Amino acid sequence: MRGLARREFCLVLLRRMADLRPDLVAEALPHLGADRAEAHAAHTRWQALQHAPRGPRGLALRTAVLGPPDHREDRWFGDLPVQVRRWPVPLWPELRWEVVSGPGGAVLHEHLVRAPGSTVPAASAGELLVWQHVLDDVVGLPGAESVDPGVVTRWEVRLPDGVRATFVWGLLQRVSRTSDR
């Protein structure tokens, strides 16, 4: 592996998803024409790029890897001007990789979001689709409570009746029921 592009970036995302769903990651690798060794090499290369003393940082690194975004929008978050950029990703055609950046290209947030015109059915507390629904699909459900698990790549949403949805990079990985609600 010499460089990184959108395909390899998907392999980087899969690395964190494998912590919770190694079964789905194993099924996804052939769709990218990759194996575990190539996924590991992509992750290693990504880490090296992130820590290279003279390499691009923040938004510049994402653009170097992903190319020009398909969508760019200026927004305000309170008094802070931010830019939202989205790229298609080959493994999930119904999704986009979204990067929210602040002044100077600092990455404030990044995750998978629903693509415009997606055919994925709406989320409901009774029907959450693993590897199809994203965080934004679930946080707006009635009674949803967002929980930050303290890991930058993960998020959790608790729904009424003890339903817990766990996300990695904004993509639903697991739905479980808890009895502690």
How many of the other CB atoms lie within 10 Å of CB of 179? 5
Report the pLDDT value the prediction gives residue 149, as an integer from 0 to 100.
87
Could you give the CA distance from residue 180 to residue 161 in angstroms, rounded to a whole number? 10
The one-letter amino acid at 36: R
Report the pLDDT value the prediction gives residue 2, as an integer from 0 to 100.
55
Q: What is the pLDDT along the chain (181 residues), one digit of tens a residue?
A: 456 899 999 999 999 999 999 999 999 999 999 999 999 999 999 999 999 999 899 999 999 999 999 999 999 999 999 999 999 999 999 999 999 999 999 999 999 999 999 999 999 988 999 999 999 999 999 999 999 888 989 999 999 889 999 999 999 999 998 765 4
Report CA-CA distances (Å) from 167 to 60, 75, 83, 103, 152: 26, 25, 23, 28, 11
| 3-state secondary structure (DSSP) of residue 137 | helix
Q: Using a cut of 0.75, tell me whether the model's pTM lies above it.
A: yes
Could you give the CA distance from residue 172 to residue 154 in angstroms, rounded to a whole number? 10
Positive or negative, the CA dihedral 92, 166, 60, 56 is negative
Report the pLDDT value the prediction gives residue 179, as an integer from 0 to 100.
64
